[in-house]
Homo-oligomer: A and B are copies of this chain.
Amino acid sequence: MQRSAAQIGDVLANIDTPALILDQSAFERNGAALMAAVSGLPIRVRPHAKSHKCPEIARRQVAAGAVGICCQKVSEAEAFVEAGIQNILISNQVVGEKKITRLIAMAQRADLSVCVDHIENARALSAAASAAGLRLGVLIELEVGAMRCGVAPGESALALAREISQMPGLEFLGLQSYHGPAQHLRTHSERRAAIDQAITLTRSTRDLLAKHGMPCRQITGAGTGSFMLEASSHLYTEIQPGSYIFMDADYSRNDWRESGMPIFEQSLFVLASVMSLRDPDHAVVDAGLKASSVDSGMPIVADLTDVRYHKASDEHGVLQRGPRAEKMLLGQKIRLIPGHCDPTVNLYDELIVVREGRVTDIWPILARGALL
């Protein structure tokens, strides 16, 4: 744990850099916009905590009406349970003896469920849960286009559901159908086509399972790019958006027209300083690869006109100044919009919360680095 970049009451110019800052007003509007957007729909909200890894945020999400949170890792969930969050779906497979042992220990003090997509994993979960005398809720993850985890919809899912329904220690809850890449398709029609396919596959699998006496009480999925589609499907029972509270440069490239999605604002920034200025056209900031993940592209320079973040190395970012840009100053603080919010948040131990230019709070990112 490193020292803090700021103290409560600091103005922006006094925050040490690079620092991860949260525009509290935009963050609050984003949270409210999500709940308002789905308020008339038969859907529960279970935000994904892999984006923020921050119990302070999870508590606010639950207070605003979320049914609980999603986590991706056992150790991530442990940090939230420790902080008092009781209802967690691990929207991922938990494979390996050490992880399963800890999952089952945690399930004795929190309301946990988990995804499965392999019979061997289901057997291992069943053995551990029944040895501990509990029933663990499991959802079968379907592969609905993301080409990542999940069993094929239809007969494969049916076969796995049959096995799980027989296993001691497990309670079959339903399906997870999450299409990650669809979130980042640029137009509404592309996203709609991908999610429509996911909905069709999921619906037919749900119906097949029901026909065989295995109704799905839960069907979960959806992200920040598509959740209105799942929420209005009358199929999904829960949505799992994560990034909507923060947004990022990659999501800003989505075209939201015709989507019916609420417009979320950028609330998350990396605050950087100009640390080298050879000439007015060549400024270097102190935030590189270790301060802003570039997996989805370079950060965008906020606030300044016609200045581009051109190239990142470990600790440096080279800026390019276009003809309409004003001169920059050595030491000048510049807000960057990270290319991808989730892995950027995971680089920091704290979120510096700012309202009207002043630090109002510092929220520990307690599940930062929770890989296990």
Contacts and interface: CB of A to CB of B under 8 A. Distances in A.
Interface of A: 1-3, 5, 14, 16-19, 50, 72-73, 75, 92-93, 95-96, 98-99, 117-118, 120-121, 143, 147-152, 180, 273-278, 282, 284, 286-287, 289-291, 293-295, 312-316, 318, 330-331, 340, 342-343, 346-349, 368-372
Given A289-B343, A290-B346, A370-B2, A278 B143 contact: yes
Closest 9 CB pairs of A and B: A149-B276, A95-B275, A72-B315, A289-B343, A16-B98, A93-B275, A16-B372, A290-B346, A314-B342
A35 to B, nearest CB: 24
Contacts of A343: 289-290, 314
A33 B16 CA distance: 39
A99 B289 contact: no
Nearest to A342: B314
Nearest to A314: B342
B96 A16 contact: yes
Nearest to A91: B315
Nearest to A79: B2
A68 to B, nearest CB: 19
19 contacts: A2-B370, A3-B372, A5-B372, A16-B96, A18-B371, A95-B331, A96-B273, A117-B278, A120-B331, A149-B275, A149-B316, A150-B276, A289-B293, A290-B342, A290-B371, A293-B293, A314-B343, A348-B369, A368-B369
Q: How many copies does the complex hold?
A: 2
Given A295-B295, A316-B148, A273 B372 contact: no
Contacts of A273: 95-96
A19 to B, nearest CB: 8
A331 B278 contact: no
Contacts of A275: 92-93, 95-96, 149
Contact of A149 (B75, B284, B331, B368): B284
Task: Determine chain A's interface SS by DSSP, over half rule.
Answer: loop
Find the residue from A98, A295, A314, A331 having the highest chain B CB count within 10 A: A314
B312 A295 contact: yes
A75 B3 contact: yes
A90 to B, nearest CB: 11
Contact of A369 (B2, B73, B150, B316): B2
Contacts of A284: 148-149
Contacts of A331: 95-96, 120
B95 A330 contact: yes
A277 B348 CA distance: 32
Find the residue from A121, A149, A371 having the highest chain B CB count within 10 A: A371
B17 A372 contact: yes
A278 B312 contact: no
Contacts of A368: 369
Contacts of A151: 278
A204 B361 CA distance: 52
Contacts of A147: 282, 318
A105 B291 CA distance: 25
A349 B92 CA distance: 23
Contacts of A1: 1
B96 A318 contact: no
Given A148-B276, A278-B152, A330-B95, A294 B295 contact: yes
Find the residue from A117, A149, A180 having the highest chain B CB count within 10 A: A149
